[in-house]
């Protein structure tokens, strides 16, 4: 079935460091892909998405490119800030088009 | 603020009991999703309603049920509660049937602790 695998955390970085959070997926066809972010005590918020192969989603300095060859959707940011500390979830739309399937989440901690 | 309202925010109850979690979607959103977030299972899709009708079921236990009312608010009923049901339950809403159709907005969740 459809599934998402993302790198285990926590990821600990200093401010202004480069961030990569790996995400790979297993699915039939080419599902829409998403990154959501969860700040402490809050619900999930959509960070970015890509709906077809080679699309690049971007928002707030974060980017991810839909790579069908490697079934990946890695999240990157060139210079992280303390305010980026949160849990990041990679997700795909299931084949039936009825739900998002989430990875287990990666905790990012950025220190000044 | 996502516009999705969930109540209660926190709930502590005993094993064997029944609870109801309530969700008010964003104004105008017809689609409501319920998710369970636990440490071991991560975020699990439970069920989706669209305009009052059940559209999809995920990993929802038979002890759990949900419904969406004519005013589009939704309730998730959890019965015969077990310790393992302790989790954060999220409601999310969207204007479209399909998740990729438009942004899905999540509420802040209802923390359920079963003791």
pLDDT at residue A42 tops 90: no
CB distance A8 to A106 below 8 Å: yes
Q: What are phi and psi of A29, to 5 degrees?
A: 80, -150
Q: Average pLDDT of B27-37?
A: 95
The chain-wide mean pLDDT, for chain A, equals 94
Please tell me the distance from the alpha carbon of residue B90 to that of residue B21, in angstroms, as a whole number.
10
Q: Decide if B43 touches A, using CB distance below 8 A.
A: yes
Position A23 scores a pLDDT of 97
Q: Decide if B90 touches A, using CB distance below 8 A.
A: yes
Q: Average pLDDT of A55-73?
A: 96
Which residues from B are below 8 Å from A105, CB to CB? 42-43
CB distance B110 to B78 below 8 Å: no
What is the bridge-based pairing of β-strands A44-50 and A33-38? antiparallel
Please tell me the distance from the alpha carbon of residue A100 to that of residue B60, in angstroms, as a whole number.
15
Residue ranges with strand state E in B39-94: 42-50, 53-57, 64-68, 74-78, 87-94
pLDDT above 70 covers a percentage of chain A that reads 100
Position B98 scores a pLDDT of 84
**Beta carbons of A43 and B107 less than 8 Å apart:** yes
Please tell me the distance from the alpha carbon of residue A62 to that of residue A81, in angstroms, as a whole number.
12
Please tell me the distance from the alpha carbon of residue B90 to that of residue B42, in angstroms, as a whole number.
12
Min Cα distance B69 → chain A (Å) is 20
pLDDT band at A60 (very low <50, low <70, confident <90, very high): very high
Would you call A52 exposed, middle or buried from its count of C-beta atoms within 10 A (0-12, 13-18, 19+)?
exposed
Position A66 scores a pLDDT of 97
Q: Average pLDDT of A63-70?
A: 96
**Beta carbons of A99 and B4 less than 8 Å apart:** no
CB distance B15 to B81 below 8 Å: yes
pLDDT in tens, A8-21: 889 999 999 999 99
Which among B59, B100, B105 is the top mutation candidate for probing chain A, defined by the most A β-carbons within 10 Å of its own β-carbon? B100
């Amino acid at each position: 079935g459809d599934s998402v695998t993302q790198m285990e955390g926590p990821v600990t970085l200093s401010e202004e460091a480069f961030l990569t959070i790996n995400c790979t997926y297993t699915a039939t066809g080419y599902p829409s892909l998403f990154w959501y972010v969860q700040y402490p005590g809050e619900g999930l918020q959509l960070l970015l998405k890509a709906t077809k192969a080679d699309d690049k989603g971007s928002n707030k300095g974060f980017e991810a490119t839909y790579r069908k060859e490697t079934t990946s959707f890695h999240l990157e940011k060139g210079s992280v800030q303390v305010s980026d500390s949160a849990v990041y979830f990679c997700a795909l739309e299931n084949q039936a088009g009825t739900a998002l399937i989430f990875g287990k989440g990666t905790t990012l901690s950025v220190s000044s | 603020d996502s516009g999705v309202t969930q109540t209660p925010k926190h709930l502590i109850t005993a094993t064997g009991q029944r609870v109801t979690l309530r969700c008010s979607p964003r104004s105008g959103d017809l689609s409501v999703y319920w998710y369970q977030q636990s440490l071991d299972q991560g975020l699990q899709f439970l069920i989706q309603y669209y305009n009052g009708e059940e559209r999809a079921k995920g990993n929802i236990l038979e002890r759990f049920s949900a419904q969406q009312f004519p005013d589009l608010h939704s309730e998730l009923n959890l019965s015969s509660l077990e310790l393992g049901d302790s989790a954060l339950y999220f409601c999310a809403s969207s204007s479209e049937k399909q998740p990729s159709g438009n942004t899905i907005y999540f509420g802040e969740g209802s923390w359920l602790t079963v003791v």
